[in-house]
Structure 1
Amino acid sequence: MKLEVIIEGVKQYYSLTWPEIIKMLNEKYGIRFIDRGVWGQVFDHPSWNYVVKVFDTDDAYLSFVNFVMENPNIHYPKFVKKPIEMHLFHKRSSHITNKTFYVVKVERLQPLPQFFKMLFNLEIIDDIIDAKQRNHKTCLLPDIKTFDLSLRHATFSEQNIDEWIRHYPELKLDTLIPAIVAIKQSNISKMFKWDLHGKNCMMRDDGTVVITDPLSADKFVKPFFDHVLDLTVSGPDMNKLTRTL
């Protein structure tokens, strides 16, 4: 049975709120809530080689997922399958306008080290891209002594861009920069706000930086899982759900 049918069609859990479903997943099946963003929550289980992301009607993220599945790249996340569309149990969520949400399986990744976060948060990579597009050979770049370098101890100087990139192959900027440019030049970047920073990138065990969520739709409606008082979804038959996941 398909996952969306299980979640939408089983009456046993109609009375459960979203926080109660999360609690049951953990206590009964060991499926843990591990992280959240503005529009998504991430779940994990020791037996999975992926994580499951549940996200609200985030058109920017959904468009990014579709873009990634059509344009695979070592710096884009690997999704197991296309997102599955779900619906809130309408009788208990009549005041919530965003009734649709999605579930998607994505590869397990690690947080970025501090130095890599700095590259994005200070827009250093954007500066490199901008300089190259203007045919400039140099720009202001960090003087790297160690990859444990924090912003507080960072110094910067005008440096040759290509030499700097070659000197630090660990950053893999020769492939990361084209991957970023490809998103910026795509149609989806014209539809949404560019929002690439250190928390919207992660890393594989081999040190490859992965762009996880570079766009924002600038929505003003709360995601469904922040309606904690009376929100109920048509909850899953958990035995079938865990087998499907």
Structure 2
Amino acid sequence: MIPLEQFILEIWKIRAAQPTYRLGGSGVDGTCDCIGLIIGAIRRAGGTWPGTHGSNYAARYEMAAAPGGLGPIGNSVDLSVGEVVYKVRRPGDAGYDLPHKYCGGDLLDFYHVGVVMAVSPLKIWHCTAGADGGGIRVDLKLGKWSWAGRLARIDYGKEGGGLPMEEQETGRATAWVMAANGEPVRLRQLPGKHSQTLAKIPVGTGVQVLETGSQWCTILALGKRGYMMREFLRMETHEAGEAR
């Protein structure tokens, strides 16, 4: 099984690449779709996805057994980081389009899927189409997300374990580390290229920005407070748009 921490890190890395939406994409060619965000992260972490590239397949064959299995959401407090959430249509609903191969079961159309990246405040990341080419969006409310559960291929460990340090401490990450060459970026003790290196932060790591400057930002990364050049930080934008 894939550790939750690694799964979350790979989700960050896919988003850092800013993929556009393409049905069937999984983050390997600059494109992604909703289930592709999850499949891509699992594969990047060394796992496999032997079945169909689809959210209905995932809901029926890739969810953990109870407890923690797929079920209706009571409220956002019921969720935990790394769980996946679904939007569901029922027979008779507008847009209902359950593939025929799943019509012998519950008849629910799990038409869109996202990943819970924070609970307080709530952040659900999902890849969706849009006039701008689409991409990974952040929902801050449950809205139409109505079912949730844990993936069978992810090791969630103990409650709250395996999360990036800044997520455990604040419930949010306001930027993520990026570099064109893919190499880790230095976190420095003071704002200057010759200052002592406190840590090398992997590309895709979520960080909390404490202060911003024209060239350097004060950040909290992997439990360490230090300085990083602003050019290596992609600030998070909060988008609460609904999926298609």
Normalised TM-score (structure 2): 0.24
- Pick the structure with more helix per residue: 1
- Structure label with greater radius of gyration: 1
Relative contact order: is structure 1 or structure 2 higher (C-alpha 8 Å, sep ≥ 6)? 1
- Pick the structure with more strand per residue: 2
